[in-house]
């Protein structure tokens, strides 16, 4: 029976050992590679299997012979107790990795995830206003409450702290903020930064706490009654400000503020009296041709000599401010909004004309809700819309005369 080795190596032997495996006893081995690199290995038997576990480098700058023996003895005790040192080491490494990952995730804030999401997706968003709204609403309402919180810790209480103060008074804004929070948290979960259900989801969660928007004041834009519009237009034409011309043009075309203020001369064909708004600047993401009435053309001819890129430029260059027309209404002491004039146009078209519903809706560039109807009507009813907008311009210039009733061309309602 071979003699069991016990402390067979010496420090000098460790230093001078040739390439190969050198036993010290008790399962401790010195491994020397052809390159001269040296390391300690402990070999043990557990459940009928022989296994090796590395202890570290040997020689100068590494683990000494005495320390290697101490480490071996500690491992021998574990093996006798039925503990596999390799499995234990792997488990500890896994736990350490998980702890490191948890620590890293704990440092990832809601704001960091939100900014990363915006940066990755904003190029696909339809316009600058949408991008600006994303950033502004998060900065104004969300970041002050939970921007610096770890995204993994965001809960329902945080979401409600943001939504409840504005849910009644600003339902439109609050609803959009909730959706944006939900999107950011979904992105965080997809990246492995958080687990569990989304605390900002509406169905089955926030819907059980806050009333739906249909039960709230929806925040419609205050509109001037269409009966008052002709008298207002007469007063508006007395003003010479660029904002007055822009507002009159908005009303005559029944378009949105952003569509008019962002309009450039490249979009306008004065000879054909057509203004074509590209899809990238339309809310519905679809190109919209706007027929221009004689008065609308007259307004454009008045501003064209300015030689600017935008139809309605600011004094210092660039496009007119989005607040310019709103401030004009305030100065005129009127309790209505620019956008509300679209409602005035729609009410007038319904009450005072016989134009078909789809003609009026297309004039406003509304998306046809009925899919069957949308598939059937592939045109833009441009000729009918031209007559409609001509009648609207005539009405706006009538100052309410004769009840301002407009009779469409025979057969127009069909």
Structural domains of the chain, with CATH = 11-103 (3.30.160.390), 110-215 (1.10.150.130), 226-404 (1.10.443.10)
What confidence category does residue 105 fall into, taking pLDDT thresholds of 50, 70 and 90? Answer: low
* pLDDT (0 to 100) of residue 122: 85
Q: With 60 as the cut, is the pLDDT of residue 370 above it?
A: no
Phi first, then psi, for residue 326 (nearest 5°) are: -65, -40
Task: Tell me the CA distances in angstroms from 179 to 132, 202, 328, 397, one per residue in order.
Answer: 16, 8, 33, 43
* pLDDT (0 to 100) of residue 218: 45
For residue range 132-154, list pLDDT tens digits in order.
Answer: 889 999 999 999 999 999 988 89
Question: Can you read off the two tokens belonging to residue 20?
Answer: 């190969």
* pLDDT (0 to 100) of residue 278: 92
Q: With 60 as the cut, is the pLDDT of residue 407 above it?
A: no
Name every residue whose Cβ is closer than 8 Å to that of residue 192 and which is 6 or more positions away in sequence. Answer: 105
For residue range 199-241, list pLDDT tens digits in order.
Answer: 999 999 999 999 886 544 444 568 888 899 999 999 999 998 9
Which has the minimum average pLDDT: 56-60, 265-269, 275-279, 348-352? Answer: 56-60
Q: In percent, how much of the chain has pLDDT > 90?
A: 37
Which has the minimum average pLDDT: 98-107, 125-134, 145-154? Answer: 98-107
* pLDDT (0 to 100) of residue 249: 95
Q: In percent, how much of the chain has pLDDT > 70?
A: 87
* pLDDT (0 to 100) of residue 219: 47
* pLDDT (0 to 100) of residue 205: 94
For residue range 188-199, list pLDDT tens digits in order.
Answer: 899 888 888 999
* pLDDT (0 to 100) of residue 372: 44
Q: With 80 as the cut, is the pLDDT of residue 102 above it?
A: no
- Average pLDDT, stretch 98-117? 76
Q: With 90 as the cut, is the pLDDT of residue 414 above it?
A: no
pTM of the entire predicted model: 0.50
For residue range 301-340, list pLDDT tens digits in order.
Answer: 999 998 888 999 988 777 888 888 989 989 999 888 888 8
* pLDDT (0 to 100) of residue 274: 95
What confidence category does residue 378 fall into, taking pLDDT thresholds of 50, 70 and 90? Answer: low
Q: Which of 26-35, 212-221, 293-302, 355-364 has the highest mean pLDDT?
A: 293-302
Tell me the three-class secondary structure of the chain, residue by residue: CCCCCECCCCHHHHHHCCCEEEEEECCEEEEECCCCCEEEEEEEEECCEEEEEEEEEECCCCECHHHHHHHHHHHHHHHHCCCCHHHHHHHHHHHHHHHHHHHHHHCCEHHHHHHHHHHHHHHHCCCHHHHHHHHHHHHHHHHHHHHCCEHHHCCHHHHHHHHHHHHCCCHHHHHHHHHHHHHHHHHHHHCCCCCCCCCCCCCCCHHHCCCCHHHCCCCCCCCCCHHHHHHHHHHHCCCCCHHHHHHHHHHHHCCCHHHHHCCEHHHEECCCCEEEECHHHCCCCCCEEEECCHHHHHHHHHHHHHCCCECCECCCCCECCCCHHHHHHHHCCCCCCCCHHHHHHHHHHHHHCCCCHHHHHHHCCCCCCCHHHHHHCCCCCHHHHHHHHHHHHHHHCCCCHHHHCCCCCCCCCC
Q: With 90 as the cut, is the pLDDT of residue 294 above it?
A: yes
């Amino acid at each position: 029976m071979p003699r069991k080795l016990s402390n067979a190596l010496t420090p000098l032997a460790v230093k001078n050992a040739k390439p190969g495996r050198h036993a010290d006893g008790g399962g401790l081995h010195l491994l020397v590679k052809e390159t001269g690199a040296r390391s300690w290995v402990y070999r043990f038997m557990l459940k009928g299997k022989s296994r090796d576990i590395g202890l570290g480098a040997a020689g100068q700058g590494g683990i000494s012979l005495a320390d290697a023996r101490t480490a071996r003895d500690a491992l021998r005790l574990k093996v006798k107790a039925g503990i596999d040192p390799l499995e234990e080491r792997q488990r500890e490494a896994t736990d350490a990795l998980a702890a490191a990952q948890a620590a890293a995730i704990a440092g990832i804030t809601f704001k960091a995830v939100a900014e990363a999401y915006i940066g990755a997706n904003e190029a696909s968003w339809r316009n600058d206003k949408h991008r600006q709204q994303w950033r502004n609403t998060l900065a104004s309402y969300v970041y002050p409450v939970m921007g610096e919180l770890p995204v993994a810790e965001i809960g329902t209480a945080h979401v409600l702290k943001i939504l409840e103060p504005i849910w009644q008074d600003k339902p439109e804004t609050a609803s959009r903020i909730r959706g944006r929070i939900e999107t950011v948290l979904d992105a965080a979960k997809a990246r492995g930064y958080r687990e569990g259900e989304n605390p900002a989801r509406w169905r089955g969660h926030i819907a059980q706490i806050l009333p739906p928007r249909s039960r709230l004041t929806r925040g419609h834009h205050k509109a001037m009654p269409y009966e008052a519009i002709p008298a207002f237009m007469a007063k508006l034409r007395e003003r010479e400000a660029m904002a007055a011309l822009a507002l009159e043009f908005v009303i005559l075309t029944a378009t949105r503020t952003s569509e008019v203020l962002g309009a450039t001369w490249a979009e306008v064909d004065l000879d054909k009296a057509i203004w074509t708004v590209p899809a990238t600047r339309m809310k519905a993401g679809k190109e919209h041709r706007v027929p221009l009435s004689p008065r609308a053309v007259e307004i454009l001819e008045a501003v064209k000599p300015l030689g600017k890129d935008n139809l309605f430029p600011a004094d210092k260059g660039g496009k007119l401010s989005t607040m310019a027309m709103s401030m004009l209404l305030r100065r005129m002491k009127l309790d209505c909004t620019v956008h509300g004039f679209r409602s005035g146009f729609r009410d007038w078209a319904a009450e005072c004309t016989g134009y078909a519903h789809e003609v009026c809706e297309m004039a406003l560039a509304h998306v046809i809700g009925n899919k069957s109807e949308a598939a059937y009507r592939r045109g833009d009813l441009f000729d009918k819309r031209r007559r409609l907008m001509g009648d609207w311009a005539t009405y706006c210039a009538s100052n309410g005369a004769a009840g301002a009733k407009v009779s469409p061309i025979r057969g127009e309602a069909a």
